[in-house]
Structure 1
Amino acid sequence: MIKHIVFFKLKDSSTENVERTAKVLRGLEGKVEQLRSLEIGLDVIHSARSYDIALVATFDSLEDLQGYQIHPEHQKVIQYMNEVRENSVAVDYEF
Structure 2
Amino acid sequence: MFKLKDNSPESMEKAREILMSMEGKIPELKGLTVGKDTLFTGRSFDICLITTFDSKEDMDVYQDSYYHVEHVLKNIRPMIEKSAACDFLG
After TM superposition, is the score higher than 0.5? yes
Distance 1:54 1:43 in 2: 8
Q: Please list every run of at least 4 consecutive aligned residues from structure 1 whose deviation after the TM superposition is greater than 2 angstroms.
A: none
For 1:62-73, what aligned pairs fall within 5 Å after superposition? Answer: 62-73=56-67
What is the match of residue 86 of structure 2?
Answer: 91
In the alignment, is residue 8 of structure 1 matched against residue 6 of structure 2?
no
1:53 corresponds in structure 2 to 47
For 2:57, give the aligned amino acid.
E
Contact in 1 for aligned 2:28/2:53 (Cα 8 Å):
yes
One-letter code of the match for 1:80?
Answer: N
Does residue 35 of structure 2 align to residue 30 of structure 1? no
Deviation at 1:49, TM superposition (A): 1.1
Structure 1: 5+ residue runs without aligned partners?
Answer: 1-6
- What's the TM-score once normalised by structure 2's chain length? 0.96
Q: CA deviation at 1:94?
A: 0.7
Q: CA deviation at 1:48?
A: 1.3
Q: Structure 1 vs Structure 2: percent identity of aligned residues?
A: 39
Q: TM-score, normalised by structure 1?
A: 0.91
Q: Relative CO higher for 1 or 2, CA cutoff 8 Å, sep ≥ 6?
A: 1
Q: Deviation digits for residues 55-79 of structure 1, max 9, x if unmatched?
A: 0000000100000000011002111
Give structure 2 stretches of 5+ with no counterpart: none
Whether contact under 8 Å (2:18, 2:76) holds in the other structure is no
**Aligned partner letter, 1:50:** S
- Paired residue total: 89
